[in-house]
Amino acid sequence: MAQSHMVLFRFYVLKASFGEGNSCFTSAQLENSFRDSLSMLDSGKLVHDCLLNTSKGADDHLIEFSEALRTVAKALRQVAEGKASAQAEAAEWRRKYELERERNQHKELSSQGAQYDSKEITAENLSDQTVPQTISIEQLEKCCGKHGICSHEVLRDGETDFESKMNHNKIRKKVSSTQAKPHFIIEDNLRFGEGVNLRKASFRLSWGCNGSGQHKHDIVSFERGNITTAERSSKQISLKWESQPQTVLILTKPNSSPVRSLCAEMIRWLKDYKGIDVFVEPQVRIELLSDSPYFNFVQTWVDGFLDNLVHEAHLNEEIMFMHTKVDLVITLGGDGTVLWAASMFKGPVPPVVPFSLGSLGFMTPFQSEHYRRYLDSILKGPISITLRHRLQCHVIRDAAKDELETEESILVLNEVTVDRGMSSYLTNLECYCDSSFVTCVQGDGLILSTTSGSTAYSLAAGGSMVHPQVPGILFTPICPHSLSFRPLILPEYVTLRVQVPFTSRGHAWASFDGKDRKKLAAGDALVISMAQWPVPTACQVDSTNDFLHSIHEGLHWNLRKTQSFDGPRES
């Protein structure tokens, strides 16, 4: 178009000049000039056509290049899925190998201890000691029949699997030089609570046992090609003390005057009327002594922040074996105090009695005003308890050599959250369940919650409320950029893997029960599975009653005005 305009412009200029009688321009000159302009117009068309053909060719190349990139991305994703599947399978085989090795070591250690006891320990030495007891085969057959599927267990003063795993090396060194059983050697090595009665109370847990003492079971039969369930047990768990509790650990909500005064009053009552040894946190003991020297009998563990001479490993060891010395844990606060109590126990957890002194409590059914009546009933027993399962989480960095090279595992009672932190980009998370690809999360993040945590962050993100004794893991997205991304509830036996892909625009951040945030860079992975040590919390009535009461009182669940009875009626 520009070329044609130029030709017309030159034609009119020539014509005007010729019309004015300018002798400089002849008709031949005008004709030659017009021919030059036409040739220029033809060349412009050629250039324009050439540019059009070039742009079309470039577009075709770009389309081919984008398709090639899409194919490469798909191939890389398939490779990543295959790698994750192989790593998960290798980790599972490694875990089975470790469990088998530990089981063999435990059997070898038990046989050595039995041989040593038969040779060295006399009846006189055993008269003052607490010996682990087991249920005989005759008792099992009497209670459950020959199949032995009764869901009850007796827990006594014995070395637990956790103690065996953590201390079998120490036991082997001490057996040859001391005149005591390995169980008592472990107690000698513990420095937590020196100078007090260290004998731990024993108790019995029973599942699905009604008032008459008759046990029910889930019996599945297969007759004539039909699968039927004969009967179902309630699975309500009951705790009965077989020896009186002697030691109580009280954990309190910090910076609260009502909690502080109630703690002092409860300690006086436990010591004066029940004769129970009381442990508190180091800072709480300092506050109690500042109020009155009467609380000098209250025990605690050494605080590394208060005593710089204490090594951190020594402090961790004392807290690690706290469950071997404490019969009962009392929390004064809200759900946050219960989470803090659970985080202190890296292995087995003693029964927890949570008193409600916080702003909102789904796990604190006991009212502090009647603590004497509640504690008196709990110390006598039996009581109903809720086994609140925990998640075991560990981070595997991209630089790790294999799946076994992980960071220290973290136990959570509520949830583990993976979010985008301060980044303005969407999180990009690849999720796997065992060896199966689940989905790629694109949004603000992901919540992996226990059923106890279903009324916490997961509920706010749109997850369902689940009874705390339902075994499962909640898979809840946070503000997903998809209308079809609905929450899931997965079985408790699966292992979940959340990985940040190398194509992610930003980092992700993982937090565990709202603290201990860890940065997840591209290639890092977070592995989550159900922990083997639940948190047993005492119930005021029973597990179901306490759960329904908590959602009614805490959330005002389904609270509305009742429909008026007058008005039109169905004939």
Q: What is the pLDDT of residue 54?
A: 59
> CA 255, CA 486: separation in Å to the nearest integer?
40
Start and end residues for every CATH 2.60.200.30 domain found in the chain: 391-530
Q: Is the pLDDT of residue 269 over 50?
A: yes
pTM of the model: 0.66
Least-confidence region, from 46-55, 162-171, 286-295: 162-171
- CA angle 153/159/161 to nearest 5° reads 75
Q: Is the pLDDT of residue 462 over 90?
A: yes
**Residue count (the chain):** 571
Average pLDDT, integer, range 419-433 = 93
Q: What is the pLDDT of residue 247?
A: 93
> CA 30, CA 35: separation in Å to the nearest integer?
9
Give which of 412, 421, 431 is closest to 512, Cα–Cα.
412
Average pLDDT, integer, range 441-450 = 96
Backbone angles phi, psi at 93, to 5 degrees: -65, -40
> CA 161, CA 348: separation in Å to the nearest integer?
9
Q: How far is CA 430 from CA 63, 478, 498, 513, 526, in A?
A: 28, 15, 6, 22, 10
Q: What is the pLDDT of residue 314?
A: 60
Q: What is the pLDDT of residue 384?
A: 93
Least-confidence region, from 137-151, 187-201, 378-392, 459-473: 137-151
Band of residue 441 on the pLDDT scale cut at 50, 70, 90? very high
Start and end residues for every CATH 3.40.50.10330 domain found in the chain: 239-388
Band of residue 429 on the pLDDT scale cut at 50, 70, 90? very high
> CA 75, CA 71: separation in Å to the nearest integer?
6
Do strands 237-241 and 203-207 pair parallel, antiparallel, or not at all (unpaired)?
antiparallel
Q: Is the pLDDT of residue 402 over 90?
A: no
Q: Is the pLDDT of residue 77 over 50?
A: yes
Quick one: tokens of 294?
A: 């009467």
Three-class DSSP category at 185 = helix
> CA 186, CA 364: separation in Å to the nearest integer?
34
Q: What is the pLDDT of residue 323?
A: 83
Higher local confidence (pLDDT), 368 or 197: 368
Higher local confidence (pLDDT), 16 or 112: 112
Give which of 156, 136, 133, 153 is closest to 208, Cα–Cα.
153
Q: What is the pLDDT of residue 231?
A: 54
Q: What is the pLDDT of residue 531?
A: 94
Q: Catalytic residue, from 277, 335, 419, 513: name it.
A: 335
Mean pLDDT of the chain: 76
Average pLDDT, integer, range 238-255 = 92
Q: Is 328 in contact with 353 (CB distance < 8 Å)?
A: yes
Q: Is 32 exposed, middle or buried (0-12, 13-18, 19+ CB in 10 A)?
A: exposed
Q: For this structure, is 335 an active site residue? A: yes
> CA 508, CA 522: separation in Å to the nearest integer?
9
**E strand spans, 306-435:** 328-333, 352-356, 366-367, 383-388, 391-396, 410-412, 415-419, 427-433
Q: Give the number of other CB atoms < 10 A from CB of residue 334.
A: 20
Higher local confidence (pLDDT), 80 or 153: 80
pLDDT above 90 coverage of the chain, percent: 44
Q: Is the pLDDT of residue 268 over 50?
A: yes
- The residues pairing with 446 across neighbouring beta strands, listed in sequence order, are 418, 477
Greatest CA separation for the chain? 146
Q: Is 305 exposed, middle or buried (0-12, 13-18, 19+ CB in 10 A)?
A: exposed
Q: Tell me: domain 391-530, CATH 2.60.40.10, correct?
A: no
> CA 328, CA 381: separation in Å to the nearest integer?
12
> CA 361, CA 549: separation in Å to the nearest integer?
11
Band of residue 22 on the pLDDT scale cut at 50, 70, 90? very low
Three-class DSSP category at 387 = strand
Q: What is the pLDDT of residue 52?
A: 60
Q: Give the number of other CB atoms < 10 A from CB of residue 139.
A: 12
- One of 3.40.50.10330, 3.20.20.70, 1.10.3470.10, 3.40.50.620 is the CATH number of 239-388, namely 3.40.50.10330
- CA angle 158/200/137 to nearest 5° reads 35
Quick one: tokens of 296?
A: 């000098």
Average pLDDT, integer, range 16-42 = 50
Average pLDDT, integer, range 220-245 = 71
Q: What is the pLDDT of residue 51?
A: 58
Q: What is the pLDDT of residue 126?
A: 36
Amino acid at 30: L
Do strands 383-388 and 535-538 pair parallel, antiparallel, or not at all (unpaired)?
antiparallel
- pLDDT, tens digit (0-9, with 9 covering 90-100), for 308-331: 545 555 666 677 788 888 999 999
**E strand spans, 91-172:** 152-155
Q: Is 215 in contact with 208 (CB distance < 8 Å)?
A: yes
- CA angle 397/399/402 to nearest 5° reads 80
Residues 6+ apart with CB under 8 A from 18: 25, 27, 30
> CA 218, CA 374: separation in Å to the nearest integer?
33
Q: Is 63 exposed, middle or buried (0-12, 13-18, 19+ CB in 10 A)?
A: exposed
Q: Is the pLDDT of residue 76 over 90?
A: no
Q: What is the pLDDT of residue 12?
A: 47
Residue 310 is classified by DSSP as S
Q: What is the pLDDT of residue 492?
A: 93
Do strands 328-333 and 247-252 pair parallel, antiparallel, or not at all (unpaired)?
parallel
Band of residue 446 on the pLDDT scale cut at 50, 70, 90? very high
> CA 57, CA 51: separation in Å to the nearest integer?
10
